[in-house]
A and B are shown apart, each in its own frame.
Chain A
C-alpha cells in the first residue's frame, strides 16, 4: 500500500478515535450533570454504541495496512460491534424499567407521563396486583 494512502487512513482513524473518546467524555459529563437516573441513561448509552462503533472503525483503519492478515481481525471487530448493538439496549431497558418502578425518576422534570396514567387506571380498575418487576 502506498505511503500516502496509509497517511490518509491514519488521519481518518485518529478522527474516529477522537470522536469516540469525545463521546465518552460527554457521557461522563452528562452523568454528573443530569438530575435523574433515566436522563443519565441516555448519555450512558451513547459511548457504548456510537462511540464504540467509531472506535472499532478507527482500529480497523489502523490495522488494515499492517500485514496481509490484518483484514482477518475485522471478524472480531464486527463481532464486538454486533454484541454491543444487541446487548446494550437490552441491559438499558431492564435498568430503565427497574429504575422507573423504584421511583428513580424526578416527577417535576417529566412533562407528560402516559405510563403513569396507565398504571393508575390499571390500579383503579383493580385488575389485580401489578406484575413484579423481577418477572420482566
Chain B
C-alpha cells in the first residue's frame, strides 16, 4: 500500500515538472495559461491525495477555492489575449480581414 502512495506522489511530481517545462518553453501566453491549468490540476490532485492519505477533511475547502481560482485565471488570461490578438499571432487566421479592419479604424 505504501508503495502505491509513493507512486502517486512520483507521478504527480513528474507531471508538475513536465508542466513547468511547458510553462518555460510555451511559445505563446495561451500555452503558458494552459500549462498553469495543468499545474493547478496536479496541485489539486496532490492536495486531494494528502487529504485521502491522512483521512483529513480540513483541506477540502482549499480544493474548492483552487478550482474556482483556476477558472477565473484562465478566463482572464484568454480575455487579455483576445483584446490584443495582433501582438501574439505569428500567422493570423484571417490576415486580409485583420489588416482591412485596422486600415479603416
Q: Is the interface of A mostly helix, strand, loop or mixed?
A: helix
Q: How far is the CB of B91 from chain A (nearest CB, A)?
A: 5
Q: Tell whether, in the assembled complex, residue B8 and residue A102 are in contact, meaning their CB atoms are under 8 Å apart.
A: no
Interface string of B48-75 (1 = CB under 8 A from A): 1101110111001101100110110011
- Bound form: Cα–Cα A60–B81 in Å: 38
Give the residues from 1 to 37 in chain B that come closer than 8 angstroms, CB to CB, to chain A.
Answer: 1, 4-5, 7-8, 11-12, 14-19, 21-22, 28, 30-31, 33-35, 37
Partner of B78, one of A51, A56, A61, A91: A91
Interface string of A16-38 (1 = CB under 8 A from B): 01101110110111011000010
Q: Tell whether, in the assembled complex, residue B5 and residue A83 are in contact, meaning their CB atoms are under 8 Å apart.
A: no
Q: Tell whether, in the assembled complex, residue B82 and residue A134 are in contact, meaning their CB atoms are under 8 Å apart.
A: yes
Residues of B within 8 A of A63 (CB): 51-52, 55-57
Give the residues from 81 to 124 in chain A that come closer than 8 angstroms, CB to CB, to chain B.
Answer: 83-84, 87-88, 90-91, 94-95, 97-105, 116, 119, 123
Q: How far is the CB of A94 from chain B (nearest CB, A)?
A: 5
A-B pair count, CB < 8 Å, reads 202
Least CB separation from A61: chain B residue: B52
- Bound form: Cα–Cα A100–B74 in Å: 16
Partner of A14, one of B5, B51, B56: B5
- Bound form: Cα–Cα A98–B71 in Å: 16
Least CB separation from A91: chain B residue: B74
Give the residues from 56 to 105 in chain B that come closer than 8 angstroms, CB to CB, to chain A.
Answer: 56-57, 60-61, 63-64, 67-68, 70-71, 74-75, 77-79, 81-83, 85, 88-94, 96-97, 100-101
Residues of A within 8 A of B88 (CB): 102
Task: Give 4 new A-B contacts, CB below 8 A, not counting A20-B45, A51-B45, A134-B83.
Answer: A22-B11, A24-B11, A32-B22, A119-B93
A-B contacts, 6 of them at CB < 8 A, read A14-B8, A17-B45, A25-B11, A29-B18, A59-B60, A103-B92
